[in-house]
Structure 1
Amino acid sequence: MGTYHGKNVVITGGGNGIGFALAELLVKGGARVVITGRSQTTLDSARERLGENAIAVRGDVTELSDLEALADRVQAELGTIDALFVNAGIATLTPFESTTEQMFDELFAINVKGAFFTVQKLAPLLSSGAGVVLTTSNANVMGLPETSVYAAGKAALRSMARSLSRELLPRGIRVNAISPGPVDTGILENTMTAAAAEQFKAERVADNPMRRFGSPDEIARAAAFLAFDATYAAGTEFVVDGGVTQL
């Protein structure tokens, strides 16, 4: 019997990167997992790789109707939830001088609004003792160039981990945050040129005490710990960044 046998889990942004690594870890441990994302192709591929204990639901976290449909599907398929991982997000670089209103609104709509209403719509399904984990970023405490909008959104999530914990603790539900440092998920290559991605990676590695990027699996294990094992932790942020913000 696996570590997570009998557990029901929802992961937004679960089709690739950290979200997929988390889904894979939990499914292998015996959990039933619902993953979401905006790309049906990505979700179909992830569902095939994860097997029969995974359910893929296409949806956009910025659309409340999609979140309500997700809640209905989760209730029908799982009933109640033991862990909710609010992982959907984008990491678009936004140079200060050229950031547009559209870029700003998109980042906050997905990374902040989407996270808040994901928790709100799924909270009625959370069982007593459930864990909610928000994916923040170590950028929220650093002054990295071209990340002012992204970092501000992740700082908002950090604050949300505290306030939502206060809201949900009377039901025995803990809310915490996982704060990854540089992780090689392939997202950089999708948001900038190959040359820019390589330069950005080289700079982050040079600044990191461990002299490397983290892996999605490393972040997944830390997030699972917060959700299931850290039963006396509430409103905290677990930093997993190779020591760059600590050393």
Structure 2
Amino acid sequence: MGRYDGKRVVITGGSSGFGLTTARLLVDDGARVLITGRGQARLDAAREQLGENAVAVQSDAASLPDIAALADRVKAEFGTVDALFVNAGITRTVPFESMTEEVYDELFAINAKGAYFTVQKLAPLLSEGSGVVLTTSVANVKGMPMVSAYAASKAALRSMTRGLARELLPRRIRVNAISPGPIDTGILDRSLPKEAAEQTKAQMTANNPMLRFGDPGEVAKAVVFLAFDATYTTGAELTVDGGASQL
């Protein structure tokens, strides 16, 4: 028997990166998992990887109608939910002087508004004693160039973690955040030319106290800890960053 047999988990942004890695960890240990993503092809590939205990739902975190439809689908599939990992988000690297209203609004619509209303719509389905985990970023505590608007959206999530933790406390629902640093999800290789990606990774490695990137599995283990095992912890942010924001 798996450690999470019978548990029902929803993961937004679960078709790639550490969202998918977390889903795989949970499915392998007996849980049923519903993942969301915006791209159908990537969702289909993730669903095939995860097997019959996974449900893949196309859903846009920036769309309130999509979030409402997601809540209906979760209720139909699971009835109630034991853990919610609100992981859907985007990154945009833009210098301050070049930031546009369109990009700014996109960052906040997905990273902040989408997360807030995802919790709101799914909260009625959360079982007593369940755990909610939001994805923030070390950028919310470090002054980093090119990501000021992204960092602000993640700082909003950090504050939201505390507020929602207080509001959901009467139902014994815990709300915490996971704050990843540089994690080797392959996003740099996919989004930058090869030489630029290698230079960026080398610089980030050299600047990290542990002198390496994190593995998605290390984030997944921290998420599952907050979702299920941290029964006396709420409103907290757990960093998984090799010490980058602490040392």
Name the TM-score class by shorter chain: over 0.9
Question: How many angstroms does 1:120 deviate by?
Answer: 0.6
Equivalence for 2:81: 81
Equivalence for 1:18: 18
2: CA distance, partners of 1:70 / 1:120: 12
Question: How many angstroms does 1:29 deviate by?
Answer: 0.7
TM-score (ref. length: structure 1): 0.98
Equivalence for 2:234: 234
Q: C-alpha offsets along residues 94-136 of structure 1, whole Å, 9 cap, x if unaligned?
A: 1111111111111111111110011011111000001000000
Partner secondary structure for residue 243 of structure 1: coil
Say which is worse superposed, 147-156 or 186-195, in terms of deviation.
Answer: 186-195
Deviating 4+ runs (over 4 angstroms): none
Equivalence for 2:209: 209
1: CA distance, partners of 2:6 / 2:98: 49
2:57 aligned partner, one-letter code: V
Equivalence for 1:9: 9
Equivalence for 1:150: 150
2:135 aligned partner, one-letter code: T
2:240 aligned partner, one-letter code: V
Partner secondary structure for residue 162 of structure 2: helix
1: CA distance, partners of 2:190 / 2:154: 20
2: CA distance, partners of 1:157 / 1:216: 21
TM-score (ref. length: structure 2): 0.98
Equivalence for 2:188: 188
2: CA distance, partners of 1:202 / 1:99: 27
2: CA distance, partners of 1:95 / 1:198: 21
Equivalence for 1:113: 113
Report percent identity of matched pairs: 68
Q: Is the 8 A contact 1:208 1:243 kept in 2?
A: yes
Q: Is 1:171 matched up with 2:171?
A: yes
Equivalence for 1:33: 33
Question: How many angstroms does 1:68 deviate by?
Answer: 0.9
Q: Is the 8 A contact 1:92 1:191 kept in 2?
A: no
Partner secondary structure for residue 117 of structure 1: helix
2: CA distance, partners of 1:157 / 1:188: 23
Partner secondary structure for residue 150 of structure 1: helix
Change (3 A) 1:60 1:137: same
2:25 aligned partner, one-letter code: L
1: CA distance, partners of 2:192 / 2:158: 26
Q: C-alpha offsets along residues 18-76 of structure 1, whole Å, 9 cap, x if unaligned?
A: 10000000000100000000000000000001000000000101111111111111111
Change (3 A) 1:191 1:109: farther
2: CA distance, partners of 1:210 / 1:104: 32
2: CA distance, partners of 1:199 / 1:30: 40
2: CA distance, partners of 1:177 / 1:20: 17
Q: Provide structure 2 residue ranges, at least 5 long, that are not aligned to the other structure.
A: none
Q: C-alpha offsets along residues 123-178 of structure 1, whole Å, 9 cap, x if unaligned?
A: 11000001000000111111111010111111110111000001101011000000
2: CA distance, partners of 1:36 / 1:65: 14
Partner secondary structure for residue 20 of structure 1: helix
Equivalence for 2:98: 98
Q: Is the 8 A contact 1:8 1:33 kept in 2?
A: yes
Q: Is 1:125 matched up with 2:122?
A: no
Q: Give matches, 1:64-75, under 5 Å.
A: 64-75=64-75
Say which is worse superposed, 17-26 or 188-197, in terms of deviation.
Answer: 188-197
Partner secondary structure for residue 35 of structure 2: strand
2: CA distance, partners of 1:197 / 1:109: 28
Partner secondary structure for residue 201 of structure 2: helix
Question: How many angstroms does 1:190 deviate by?
Answer: 3.6
Q: Is the 8 A contact 1:184 1:214 kept in 2?
A: yes
Partner secondary structure for residue 212 of structure 1: coil
Partner secondary structure for residue 239 of structure 2: strand
Partner secondary structure for residue 130 of structure 1: strand
